[in-house]
Amino acid sequence: MRIISLICVFCMACGGGDSDSPTTDGSDQDVIQEDTGPTHKSTGARAYIIDSDDDIGQGDYVNARIGDFLIANDHVRFVVRGGKHNFYMQGMQGGGIVDVGPAEDDLIQEIMPLGGFSSLGDSTVTVTKDGEDGSAEITVTATMISIPLIEAFAGDFGAEGTMTVKYRLSDSDTALEVGISTDSLDTVMGGVVMFAGGPLTLSSFDGYMISEGPNISYGFVSETPLNITTLGNVNLALGQEITGDEEWRYWLTVGNGSMSSVLDQILSIRQDPAGTVSGTVDDATAVIGAYNADGELVSRFRPNSNGEFSGKLPVGIITLVAEGKGRETGVSVEVDVIENSDTTDLQLSANKPATLEVTTDMPMRIEMTTTTGGRIVQPISAGTSTIPVTPGQWSITAMRGFEYEIDTLDITLEAGQNESWAPKLERVLDTTGWIASDFHLHSEWSTDSNVPLRDRILACAAEGVEYAVATDHDVVTDYRPFVLESLKGRIVVASGVETSTAKWGHINNWPHTVNPDLPGRGSPVWFGLDFPETMNAVGAGSPGHVVQINHPRRGSSALLDNILFDPEDPDLEQLKMFTFNAIEIYNGGDTEAMELALVDWLTMLKHKLPIAATGVSDSHSIGSYCGHPRTYVQVDDDDPATAKGPDVDNAVLAGRTLATSGPFLTLVKGDNGSVQIKVSGPSWMPVETIQLYEDGVAGTPIDVAAYDGNVVRFDNAVSLENPDAAFVVAVARASASAAPMLRAKVRAVSPALWLKKE
């Protein structure tokens, strides 16, 4: 009414009562509206549906959308997924938590409530208390369904009924209270599963768990002890059995990145006997570890800029020690923590780390080892990078994949010593016309990896990989926002997915576009599909779309093992279903599986199936090097500054792929029934034999001479044993190790060279 009144007053002031004034439809007139202020509360406890980007924020792990639900106060902030789809794991609906903490610090992918092996089916999310009375609440009511992923692999263990989840927060709370109840006739176990980003480090304790990140930390605690299981970036916490009208409650606490900031809240919620300790450390960049009488970690403090620390600890004898990356453990201080007491003025001393300052003009991998088993693997970008190092004797190697010579340094570093090094790497292989690619990579968006996205891309560039395809398990990942500025022009990235089926093995497929409104960000859904339906779901046959069968001879996750494919006597009906267009010949360092997959691929070629052979790293960590093995793809534009992903993909579809864990191997048609084979490798790379396969039949291995100062190890015409062969493939091998330069034993498989047009 006040807005209408203001408009009327405005019209009157403009002469609206003058009968001689012209009349209009109002389209040319200014309309004054009252400023009613914020649509929602901006302080204190509050809950509402997000209707503005201002409530979403910016951050690497922000998953909120307009239409999701915010519950927050002046201390903490949480976003609950709305709509008919959950976010991360496929097959469930809205009602889980997708953001926790300030948007710029958030590291949560999704937190889903559990009732035994059941979670959220058809769900309704509502604001049941908006916070006007100082208390906010969001209620989720959902049909309980068996978690599709668990059902696909292990059968239906889900309970029937309705699950109710209540998220509660008052004005003064620093933790979100979550209550789970069901009307199921079955007794179910209340629980929660958290999918989180790679920077989080998880520790589990006596019935609770804490995750530490760079600027934020999380804790899960219940009134009863939690049974905690961790795999990669998946954290599962099971609580107590729920029967009848009972409600199981847990609290999600948020801290400043330190374990101690979360433990303070956990001890208060559990009302555990605790005391407070405080003190200073002489190096504010150290952390303070707190250990119980059994040597188990209890807490970690992060001092402020003045070296001061304080916080709660459980009662008992606690040992405090200054520690940190590259530091030898400092002198310990023992404290007898007494309930409700304060132990103050503790003084700790931290040992200084040694540091290695590396300056380079290109990305590279620095690998450092000691005689006592110490190992550091550090990808670095161009410029100067500082690596903290524990004092001692170190053997250091700088390297950049298969096309470069290496540089080495042996050094003894003392505490506090800073040593500079500028390694020089010479590119010695000519791979013009080919782009180095890795089509199987995992990051923090896979349930079994915790590599942050920026680190994943840097690790690939450091190995000389020029085209990297994201293939996380059942989640579409977009690398593009995470390419460091210093890497632009050095690497091309694409979004893909590893569709990880229970029956048909694992299948990489790309390119994809991230769709944040669908589970798995638009990943293909495979539950309950037969093989042709699965091929259709992953896009087999779509123009420009690569569908790659992964590790085809690796047990339960291998298609060819699962369907009992016999390359010596292939089932023609099976071959008709092979609508994929690529197959991993060499995955990681598994040479036994590689030799089996090679025979499978040759059989497919004999039956004229247009399938490319690839080499992939399947890297899940920084230590399992990206691009080891890799696929060189023959393209018109091999410059990563200008190359286009779709052009590389189409070259894969055309079969122009070299799968290799080291040597650069080419094969071309020669004269008079021969082929020309050329094998190159840096001085450190072993190459021992070359073998031709004519129409899939193995020929006699040919010895390759040791490195004699020429990177071209073999460049000769080889006569074919079968002049009528339709196609030929060359394979290079070596049994010698080349660690740390190579992750895998040397194998290189050329593209199929078709000698006859038909």
Closest CA to 215 of 367, 106, 60: 106
Phi-psi category of residue 466: left, alpha or beta, with phi > 0 → left and psi -120 to 50 → alpha:
alpha
Give me the residues paired with residue 645 across strands: none
Same domain, yes or no, for 152 and 58? yes
Residue with tokens 């995750």: 211
Q: Which helix (H) or strand (E) holds 39?
A: none
pLDDT tens digits, 590-645 = 999 999 999 999 999 999 999 999 999 999 999 999 999 999 999 999 999 999 99
CATH number, domain with residue 503 = 3.20.20.140
CATH number, domain with residue 292 = 2.60.40.10
Distance CA 329, CA 323 (A): 5
CA 363 to chain CA centroid, Å, is: 21
CB 216 within 8 Å of CB 101:
yes
Residue 404 DSSP symbol: B
* 303 SS3 class: coil
pLDDT tens digits, 194-228 = 999 878 888 888 789 999 999 999 999 998 889 98
Helix ranges restricted to H, 50-163: 148-154
Same domain, yes or no, for 514 and 577? yes
pTM of the model as a whole: 0.92
Same domain, yes or no, for 400 and 480? no
Q: What are phi and psi of 237, to 5 degrees?
A: -125, 120
Same domain, yes or no, for 682 and 535? no
Same domain, yes or no, for 441 and 576? yes
Closest CA to 655 of 754, 577, 541, 539: 754
Closest CA to 438 of 479, 474, 488, 385: 479
Q: Per residue in 30-40, is it b (16+ CB within 10 Å) or e — as a string?
A: eeeeeeeeeeb
- Strand bridging mode 582-587 / 546-549: parallel
Distance CA 597, CA 549 (A): 11
Same domain, yes or no, for 261 and 282? no
Question: Does the structure show a pLDDT above 70 at 30?
Answer: no
Same domain, yes or no, for 164 and 260? yes
Q: Give the Cβ contact number of residue 590 at 10 Å.
A: 18
Residue 603 DSSP symbol: H
Of 251, 270, 289, which residue constitutes the final position of a domain?
270
Identity (one letter) of the amino acid at 108?
A: I
pLDDT of residue 26: 29
Same domain, yes or no, for 727 and 668? yes
Same domain, yes or no, for 655 and 665? no
Query: Looking at the domain assignment, is residue 530 inside a domain?
Result: yes
Query: Looking at the domain assignment, is residue 585 inside a domain?
Result: yes
Residue with tokens 């279903």: 577
pLDDT tens digits, 239-288 = 988 887 789 999 999 999 999 999 999 999 999 999 999 999 999 999 99
Same domain, yes or no, for 648 and 667? no
For residue 724 the two structure tokens come to: 């009528």
Q: Where are the beta strands (DSSP E) in 427-581?
A: 434-438, 467-470, 492-495, 497-500, 506-510, 546-549
Question: Does the structure show a pLDDT above 90 at 149?
Answer: no
Query: Looking at the domain assignment, is residue 58 inside a domain?
Result: yes
User: Max alpha carbon distance in the chain (Å)?
Assistant: 106
Name residues whose C-beta falls within 8 Å of residue 269's C-beta, 6 or more positions apart in sequence. Answer: 175, 221, 251, 253
Q: Averaged over 652-662, what is the pLDDT? A: 98
Same domain, yes or no, for 122 and 193? yes
Residue 53 DSSP symbol: G
Distance CA 373, CA 394 (A): 10
Helix ranges restricted to H, 321-415: none
Residue 168 DSSP symbol: E
CB 429 within 8 Å of CB 680:
yes
Query: Looking at the domain assignment, is residue 24 inside a domain?
Result: no
CATH number, domain with residue 54 = 2.70.98
The parent domain of residue 681 ranges over 661-758
CATH number, domain with residue 377 = 2.60.40
**Residue 156 pLDDT grade (very low, low, confident, very high; cuts 50, 70, 90):** confident
> Whole-angstrom distance between the N-terminal and C-terminal Cα of the chain?
81
Distance CA 537, CA 430 (A): 39
Same domain, yes or no, for 436 and 413? no
pLDDT of residue 234: 84
Q: What's the total number of domains in the chain?
A: 5
